[in-house]
Amino acid sequence: MKGKRMYAMLLAAAFAGTAVLSGCTPAPEEATEQEQQEERQTPVQVDKVKQGSLTLQNEMLGTAAPSTAVDVFPKMTGELIQLDVKKGDKVKKGQRLGGVKGNDLRDQVELDEYALEIAQSNYKALARSEHTSDTELDQAKISIEQAKLRLRQSRTQLDNTSITTPFAGEIVNVNGELGGFVTTSSPLFSIISTDPIKITSQISASQMLILQTKNEVEVEIPDLGESYTAKISYLSPQTGDSGFYTLEAKFANPEEKVKPGMIAKLVVDQERQKDALLVPTESIIEKMGQSYIFVVADGRAVMKEIEVLESQSVLSAIKGDVKAGDEVVTKGQMTLADGNKVKLVEGAQKP
C-alpha cells in the first residue's frame, strides 16, 4: 500500500515537470521574430558615387621676381648737379630722377632760337620785296628749315641733361652722388616693377607638355598663405643648361604684398580620367588582389566587385556594377559582410 502511494507521487511529479518545460519553450514563429529583432546593425558612414573627371594636381616650385627690372643710364657725360630720389623711393613713369650739368647747352638753345627768328624775318623781307628772285626765296626757306633742325638738336641735347624713369616702379639702387661725375656707360639708377609680379619656375618635360595647352596656372605663396591665378607669359621651347624648361607667369600685385625672392608653388590640374565613376579612395577594400566596395541598398550592405581605373589620395575612378548616386560605405566597411544590416550614422567610426 505504501509502495503504491510512492509510485503515484513520482508519476505526478513527472507530469508537472513536463508541463513546466513545455511552457518555457517558445513556438518556432516566435523564435524567428526574436532573432530578427536581435540582428546586429553595423553603424556606417556613406558618401555618394559621383560621375565626373578625375584630375591630378601637378605641383612645381618657383620664385617671385620683378616683372620689369631696368638700369637707367645718363644720356650724357658730366657733373651730377641734381639728385631727386634715393633707394626705396616709388616713382612714376617719366618722373625726373636727377640732372647733369648743361649750362652751355642752355646757351646753345637760346642762340638757335635767335637764329631761327632771324631766318624767318629774312624770309618775310624777301617775300615782300618785288626784286626777290625765286632762287633767293627758296634759299630763305631752306635757311628756316636748317635753323629749325639745329634748334631741335640743341633742345634734345638739353633734355638729355635730365634723367627720367621709363616706367613706374621702385628705386633699388643709386650709383652716384651729388656733385660726382657720371658717364653714359655706367648705370646711375636701377628700377624694378613688381606689379604685376612674375613667377619663374624650372619644370620637367612632362610638366612642360601639360602646360602647353594651358593659359593660366594657380600660384600659392606659402609665406603669405594666399593663392593667385597667374597668366602664363612664357614657356621655353627648349631646355637650358640645367636640363629643365623655363616657365614664366604673371599676376597683378597692386598692393605689392608678393615680394621678389618669395617661394611660390605652382599648381596645374591634369585630367586623368574623363566621365568616370568616382568614389572616395578610403571606401575601397582590397582582398586577394581584387577590389571591392560596399553600397547600401534597402538598409543592407551589398558587396560589389570593381575595377580601379586610377586612384588618388582622395578620389578614385572605378568601373563596376554601380551607378552615380549610389551610397558607398566609407567608414565601417572593414567589418562588413555581404548582406549585413547597417545603420547610417553621421561621422560614424569603424566599430
- Domain membership of residue 91 (yes or no) is no
Residue length of the chain? 351
Q: How far apart are CA 12 and CA 227, in angstroms?
A: 92
Cα 80 from Cα 179, distance rounded (Å): 5
Q: Looking at the domain assignment, is residue 187 inside a domain?
A: no
More confident residue, 6 or 241: 241
pLDDT of res. 15? 45
The answer to whether residue 6 sits within a structural domain is: no
Domain boundary among 270, 299, 320: 270
pLDDT in tens, 305-332: 999 998 888 899 999 999 999 999 999 9
Average pLDDT of the segment spanning 321-346: 93
Amino acid of residue 29: E
Q: Please give the model's pTM, rounded to 2 decimal places.
A: 0.62
Same domain, 147 and 205: no
Q: Do 208 and 62 share a structural domain? A: yes
d(CA 56, CA 53): 10
The tens digit of pLDDT for each residue in 95-132 reads 999 999 988 888 899 999 999 999 999 999 988 888 88
Rounded to an integer, the average pLDDT of 179-202 is 95
Determine the pLDDT at residue 273: 81
Residue 1 clears pLDDT 60, i.e. is over it? no
Residue 347 is predicted with a pLDDT of: 63
CATH code (residue 215): 2.40.30.170
For 152-185, give the DSSP string: HHHHHHHHTTEEE-SSSEEEEEE---TT-EE-TT
Alpha-carbon distances of 283 from 40, 332, 346, 348, 350, rounded to whole Å:
21, 9, 15, 13, 12
Question: Quick one: pLDDT at residue 131?
Answer: 85
d(CA 131, CA 125): 11
Residues 340 and 308 in one domain: yes
In a domain, 34, yes or no: no
Mean pLDDT of the chain: 87
DSSP structure class, residue 260: T
Q: Say whether pLDDT at 70 is over 70.
A: yes
Average pLDDT over residues 171-192: 95
Do 201 and 265 share a domain, yes or no?
yes
pLDDT, residue 104, reads 87
Domain total in the chain: 3
pLDDT of 205 reads: 93
Higher pLDDT, 275 or 87: 87
Both 200 and 264 in a single domain?
yes
Is a pLDDT exceeding 50 seen at residue 350? no
- CATH number of the structural domain spanning residue 330: 2.40.420.20
pLDDT at residue 35, rounded to an integer: 53
Please determine, for residue 141, whether its predicted confidence score (pLDDT) is greater than 90.
yes
Could you tell me if 62 and 199 lie in one domain?
yes
- Could you tell me if residue 148 is inside a domain? yes
> Looking at residues 267-287, what average pLDDT do you find?
89
Q: Which amino acid is at 171?
A: I
* E strand spans, 73-188: 78-83, 90-91, 96-100, 162-164, 169-174, 181-182
In a shared domain, residues 332 and 278: yes
Does a structural domain hold residue 13? no
Per cent of the chain over pLDDT 90 is 70
Has residue 24 been placed in a domain?
no
Last residue of a domain, one of 118, 140, 160: 160
Q: Which residues, 6+ apart, have CB-to-CB distance to 296 below 8 Å?
A: 44, 46, 302, 327, 328, 329, 342, 344
Q: Is residue 81 part of a domain?
A: no
| Alpha-carbon span 90 to 72, nearest angstrom | 15
Of 3-12, 53-62, 95-104, least confident by mean pLDDT is 3-12
Q: Name the domain boundary from 228, 254, 270.
A: 270
334 and 313 belong to one structural domain: yes
Q: Domain range holding 146?
A: 102-160
Q: What is the dihedral of CA 141, 144, 149, 155, to 10 degrees?
A: -160
In the predicted structure, residue 24 carries a pLDDT above the cut 70: no
Retrieve residue 84's grid coordinates.
631727386
Q: How far is CA 84 from CA 77, 177, 179, 250, 268, in A?
A: 18, 11, 13, 31, 45
- Predicted local confidence at residue 20, as pLDDT: 41
pLDDT value at position 213? 87
Question: Within this chain, do residues 230 and 289 fall inside the same structural domain, yes or no?
Answer: no
Query: Residue 57, Cα to own-chain centre: how many angstroms?
Result: 11
Answer yes or no: do 52 and 62 share one domain: no
